A and B are shown apart, each in its own frame.
Chain A
């Protein structure tokens, strides 16, 4: 980086810091603690508070819901280095993401790479502005880890495909406006070769959703049924029957997103949370030396993972990243997040067992603990991730 580029970046940092200081409401500078704290956008979106609305609208107006997307698609047009600065400055004050969205994390990158111009123009600005909320139609009852064996059919009928079948584990399908969906367009081809990636409106005739009650008592996932849903062929992203390429590319972004769950630098450190319930000795050390050791080991691994996540981004920018590395991060990040919640449950003791009381915020901690058990399953299980690392990165035989 030249001196003038460095100077420009420092100017950008100073301006960004000042802007965030002036525009990020204080309420938006602490970690989200409940679902209401997260803004997902969409046709039926509601803000849970005025600061949430203000923060979202200010960031949207700068294009900073998607800082590194091109400006023409509603993004901020930031360079990789500027984007890193923005993230660091937001992290510095603990600013929440203004908009959470599968459109941002998953579909957007896939559209930028594989979408045609009309598709980019139609969908990306709506994602950036939080107008359309997306869900992901990937897994099926008989296609989980073995995703490519999916059976939802899309039969050609003039200018349309007619889609019949069912999906499962569709996150927030009951709230979503549109779906990006994998369908089988050539049942005769080998399993990876007859799949297409298609977009359609969830209000289309023939679409129904049914929430699934999970062990956490929540229903973040749905079963989604398609009964002769008619979708124009122009909604296929990329080439018909080459949807697996798009699917895999999107999965890399999904895995990167899920792996991020394991590194939450913001918020109170585990050691302090534990001190509240477990107590400390005269020297201020946790009054449970085994738990203290587990927390410290966790902290070491969490800090190291954060460095690795930072490095993964830097490697990608430098063109040195292995495309399958997101699988490595996904495996480690999700296992680490499960460790975090096992520690939180142990630290909380009896207090972390209440399921319904006001005192426990309706059992927020045990429900969150149970939710994390899905981290190493969704988006590809830990075992699938390790298989991908073995095959694609280590090049082990027969993997």
Chain B
């Protein structure tokens, strides 16, 4: 009998009971929030350390998003309007701290949804997600697997969208025939390597050498760049390098006299790269993440509300901090808000059902479909169009939106082949 009373096992029911009890018994401020109809959203990402550039700007973007939504009346659920509030936990990109953070957000802060960067931190959180049934989002669909049905990738289908940049480049500059690539040897770099290899093969661009995988602790990129340039390639591909690598690699390419095409997944803080190199050197640099003051984002297909105003407000508050993730977590919140309002509830089960109803969803860059069984073992990635961005006259400019599913329908077998070669398929991970 006593063992029943003191049994510590966490089931969905005990989780809900303990959360409610904790909120009631130990947190009067939270009770006040509940009475004021506040929905809490967890933000579990690196806010300090080497990977903070893919967490902190996202949180800043979410604060702007929350202010806008709250000013417009909040989130309309079946029992009334709710204000939204973000609760952040810095996981320092460490799985153990991510586990602690998930526990805090779910069992103490009573959040309804948790957004993560994912990657190395997800395996630490996965048991918590499985036990509690909490809805999580990741920016890295390579975290997806059939084991966890409550993990979704609704904003960024990294690294699959990289195919759009290569496809556009091959069509607009057919004279470019050879490429080399470098990437950090980690969970972010490897699936991206496989994707770029598939995209180059589909585009008929020859790889002059095997991808050069460098250790994530690398700080001196001179030898890396020297080796890349040794075969005199038409294209240098920087894969999905962190901004701490993209900047010094570009500097080295500039200093060592490279004059060809550069393609990269990201170019966070590209104004700083231009300052370290030159406007002429960076002209035509191709990547995948637009500035949100781009006029192309005002087209009807884009589902992100007032992107230009969002960008202006972000830059006013955090000058020089705009990056790849500044809008992504906010875009996820757009989807979550729409689904919660459709379901009339913030309950994870109801929200995910509403979100995936009909197999389609409104991605920031246009209508998209829930997809991924072949690559991820589960249709929990929202995939549609993605922009191809080039630096022109020192400014990121959207060149075109391209369809990821259309590319995959034509060349999916190549992607699967290269993903398998790098052990990146969901059943190999």
A-B interaction: no
Which residues from chain A sit less than 8 Å from chain B, CB to CB? none
Which residues from chain B sit less than 8 Å from chain A, CB to CB? none
